[in-house]
Amino acid sequence: MVRYMVNLNWDEPSPLPEAEVKVLLEKVQKGDEEARQRLIESNLKLVRTVVQRFAPWGYDPEDLFQVGCIGLVKAIDNFDASYGVKFSTYAVPMIIGEIRRFLRDDNPIRVSRSLKEKGFMLKRAVEKLTHRLGRGPTLQELAAETGLELEEVATALEAIQPVTSLSDPLYQDEGDPILLSDQIAALEEEADWLNKVMLKQVLEKLPERERKLILLRFFQDKTQTEIARLLGLSQVQISRLEKQILKKMKKLLESNAGAT
């Protein structure tokens, strides 16, 4: 692993004003290594914040921090002002994507015994409540059934789920499968998708609830269980909605491509 010699306990510089970030990014594109280093150092707190979200997985924060820094450097090297977003908005998914690749490749994922036990207890509760209610339970119902706090429910359910590869199909109909990499490639690689398909226009065509789900899921990196809690639905319902929305977005993208 490429390691960036940064100590988690070191007092990293504060984030820079957006105007200064823009100037530094322009210099980076011209090969200015000093500007590149300054952007790295000024965004280390951003990496630290992202790393904290992966605490339940049981990995050494220092290792995840170093991996996250790789994602940060990729974001700096590949950012394009034409994306029309703040650098931090672009960088966070890149950092998350790098960490998730590390977790995926470092199987089996190391989840603590207590978290596993809670997860399996919740899986049994899901089956029990689904049978009783005739639908998937909400996080609140699972918490009431198991006696766990809502945060514990969300964390445990997420921890026992396998990490999804970008090559795994999210939806399969009679045609080609819809892959996460096809729809949200910006979260994992160089954000070419954002540049090519004018994402803003596609999102604006979605109803408010669908647009909110996509923004929460792929741009604020909320898990399905977190979104279920926010929207008052079950994780199963969110998963189903997500697939339907991605299918709709695929059609919109194809329609836009045909019009150009």
Q: Where are the alpha helices (DSSP H) in the chain?
A: 18-29, 33-42, 44-52, 61-78, 87-105, 113-133, 139-146, 150-159, 180-183, 192-197, 199-204, 208-214, 224-231, 235-259
Domains along the chain with CATH numbers: 18-105 (1.20.120.1810), 111-161 (1.10.10.10), 175-260 (1.20.140.160)
The tens place of each residue's pLDDT in the chain, 260 residues long, gives: 434 444 444 455 677 888 898 999 999 988 889 999 999 999 998 898 888 877 766 677 888 899 999 999 988 988 887 767 788 888 888 888 888 888 776 544 445 556 667 877 888 888 888 888 888 888 788 888 998 887 677 777 766 555 444 444 444 444 455 444 444 443 444 344 333 435 666 777 888 889 888 888 877 778 888 888 888 888 889 988 988 888 888 777 666 545 54
Residue that is written with structure tokens 């322009």 in the block: 26
CA distance 53 to 183: 24
pTM of the model: 0.43
pLDDT confidence of residue 59: 74
In 145-184, which positions are buried (b, 16+ CB within 10 angstroms) versus exposed (e)?
A: bbebeeebbbbbbbbbeeeeebeeebbeeeeeebbbbbbb
Residue in 183, 173, 164 with CA at minimum distance from that of residue 245: 183
| 40 φ/ψ sector (left φ>0, alpha ψ -120 to 50, else beta) | alpha
Arithmetic mean of pLDDT over the chain: 74
CA distance 226 to 6: 31
pLDDT confidence of residue 6: 43
